[in-house]
Structure formats: structure tokens, C-alpha cells
Structure 1
Amino acid sequence: MTMDDDLSRIGISLPKNLLDRFDEILNFRGYSSRSEGIRDAIRTYITYYKWMSDVKGEREGVITMVYDHEQRNLLTTITEIEHDHHEIIKASLHSHVTHDRCLEVILVHGDGEQLKSLAEHLMAQKGVESVKLTTISVED
């Protein structure tokens, strides 16, 4: 065992539908336990965080976001966040996926730190299921 193999126990609370979907994926992918699946998900989250940390300089990009439009005050909060970042948002597209779920695509241009900040601010909102920032450098 390496030092990374020292285990800590944690407890988490999850909605049943989320846990059920997670268990289906674990079963499909052949994980031996929920713990291994959660460890893998955390490693992926850390990798994505590191990747986002490298978003620097002038960037062009897209933020894709899925959220529950029935979540109390979420639409107002998203609108306020987008208005606070109007200088980097160039366009957005909103689509109703189901009665409760929406997909929003936001085209952005600006400093990588600003784009990352916008994505992380959206990601932190209750009712937002997923946010993904994809960028390219505009510098040669």
C-alpha cells in the first residue's frame, strides 16, 4: 500500500434517483463496489478541475449547462450571473429538454480566468445538474 491507499470513511446524502442512476452505471461498467465508483468519479472531478486551472489567456469557448428550471429562484439567479458577465457572453441558446430540464449553451470570449469564473459560478448553483466549459486559445 502507498500513502494514497490510506482510506477514510465519509458519509454522503444523495437523492434516490441520482444514486439509482449511479448504481446502473457502476453495474454497466463492472465496478466491484460503489466506493470504487465514487473514487473514480472524484479522480475524474480532480482531473477536470486541474484542466480548468490551465485555462489562461484570451480564449473563445462554450459553456454547456443542464439545469432544473423548476428549482426555486434558479432562473433569476442564472440571469443575474449572466448579466454580471455580459462583457464575455457573446450569445446563448436555451432549449427545453423535458418539462423540468433545460439545456443552455453560452458562447463566451475573454480572459480564461473570467470564463472559468463564470462556469464555476454557474456550477455552484442548486438545481444546476452539469456545467462544462470548453475553450480554445485565440492566440497563435
Structure 2
Amino acid sequence: MQRVTITLDDGLIEEIDRFMSTRQYATRSEAVRDLLRAGLAESSEGAAGPAADGDRACVAALVYVFDHDRRDLANRLTHAHHDHHDMSLATTHVHLNSDQCLEVALLRGKAGEIRHFADHLTAERGVRHGRLVVVPLDEAEASAPAQHHHD
């Protein structure tokens, strides 16, 4: 077993401590190991799911929270979206409080490109709680026009 040192903000430590208390963990290390395993398993399931084929057409929702006061972060996120405008269908931006914003980006394109874009955005320092939901499209859905009418 190896020892790893990480820095966590006070709010996250409080959440881990509540998690520990609820689940009756004896140590933070045990709780963090289980949380990491769960996160890695979820990440692996997403990568191994139906949209794992990087060339497969899909739609996706990328949801993330970020600190808009973090140095130039909002500009970097905006530029990233502009650099990938071809896959962007819509973005919703919500102010959660004086510091935090939530964005939901609806994307369409190849699964591998969307996953790469999502990984890039959620890895930015100051982005928290990033989650990507990928929905694979069959050939008919992938070739259908983006706009349609409901009866």
C-alpha cells in the first residue's frame, strides 16, 4: 500500500466526515478508498458502455459546477465551447450563489470527441462536480436532421 497526500477544502472534508459517520467508517482513508473505487467504477462503466466506440454518434449532457471568480476560468470555458462549436447544441448557465455557477452543455457528435471535450473541461482547475451522460444514437437517429416537429 502507498501513502498519497492530497489537499482538500474544508467543505469537502466535512462532506467526507458526514459520509464516514453515516456509513460508520473507522478512518478517512477507508472512506476515501471506497469513494475512489466507486468513482473509478462509474468512470469505467461509462467508458465501457454503448458509447465506448469513439466513432459512434451520440448526444450528451455535460453538467458541471465552477467557481466563476477563479482566475480566467470562465473565459477558458467559454473559449473551449467556441473551439468545439460544431458539437455544441445549447448551453444553460445558472448562478448558484455569489461564487458558483452551474452549466449544462448539450452536445452532439462522435462519442470519443465528446468524451475528450468533457474530460478537458472538467479537469480545469476550479471546475467541480463534472458529469457526462452519453446517449448513443443508432444510424437513423445520427443521420436525422437536428430539428424536427412534434405533433
Report if TM-score (shorter chain) is over 0.5. Answer: yes
**Aligned-residue RMSD, C-alpha:** 1.4
> Structure 2: where are the runs of 5+ without partners?
140-151
1:110 and 1:52 mapped to 2: Cα distance?
A: 16
Identity of aligned residues (%): 30
2:115 — aligned with what? 116
1:31 and 1:111 mapped to 2: Cα distance?
A: 41
1:49 and 1:84 mapped to 2: Cα distance?
A: 25
1:89 — aligned with what? 88
Deviations 1:8-64 (A, max 9, x none): 222222222221222122212222211111111211221133133233311111010
Moved more, 41-50 or 127-136: 41-50
**Which amino acid is the alignment partner of residue 46 of structure 1?**
L
1:3 — aligned with what? none
Moved more, 17-26 or 89-98: 17-26
- Residue 53 in 1 paired to residue 47 in 2? yes
**Which amino acid is the alignment partner of residue 18 of structure 1?**
L
1:30 — aligned with what? 24
The secondary structure found in structure 2 opposite 1:51 is helix
> Structure 1: where are the runs of 5+ without partners?
1-6
**Which amino acid is the alignment partner of residue 73 of structure 1?**
D
Moved more, 69-78 or 49-58: 49-58
8 Å contact from structure 1 (residues 52, 116) kept in 2: no
Moved more, 51-60 or 96-105: 51-60
Shift of 1:83: 0.8
2:5 — aligned with what? 11
1:18 and 1:127 mapped to 2: Cα distance?
A: 14
- TM-score (norm: length of structure 1): 0.89
8 Å contact from structure 1 (residues 67, 127) kept in 2: yes
Moved beyond 3 Å, runs of 4+? none
- TM-score (norm: length of structure 2): 0.83
Shift of 1:129: 0.8
- Residue 98 in 1 paired to residue 94 in 2? no
The secondary structure found in structure 2 opposite 1:32 is coil
2:32 and 2:2 mapped to 1: Cα distance?
A: 13
